[in-house]
Amino acid sequence: MKITTRCEACGGVLILDTGQSIERGRMWWGTEGACQSCTVAWCEQDFGDATPEAIRQALLAEYGPARLRLTAPEASAVPVLRALREVHGLSLAQARVLADELKTTGVVGTFVEMELVAARLRHHSVGVTVETSSS
């Protein structure tokens, strides 16, 4: 996602390119910026459980939230809990809270975040859907 803003160094046009991706089963995020008027430029990429909140909020503002739901809410809790604990490193109690959300209202986040969790659930043969506002 590209964002145009003002360069703090010179006041020129700064173009930011920000995003998330899934690579080798892990969440990656990156941001790079380049001023059109001066030499200010950078590139930052990392992976981990949490994308920096500023990047998440920019993606949610641009694309809207995605909602992950179980296609069969009566599915066995064991594979659901196992998948949630694997992808998020949650305690059993935390995984149960998230599993309850999946069964009822669904879990909300960026599209890439929800696809990462969905892939782990599908790996454990749990049927899920990821819905976006454009779905």
C-beta of residue 122 within 8 angstroms of C-beta of residue 129: no
Tell me the pLDDT tens digit for each residue of 56-113: 998 999 999 999 999 987 888 999 999 999 998 899 999 999 999 999 999 999 999 9
Looking at residue 134, its pLDDT comes to 65
Looking at residue 73, its pLDDT comes to 78
Question: What pTM does this model have?
Answer: 0.84
Contacts of 29 (CB under 8 A, 6+ apart): 18, 19, 20, 21, 45, 46, 47, 51, 52, 55
Residue 135 has pLDDT above 70, yes or no: no
Q: Sketch out the chain's domains with CATH numbers.
A: 2-63 (2.20.25.420), 66-132 (3.30.1390.10)
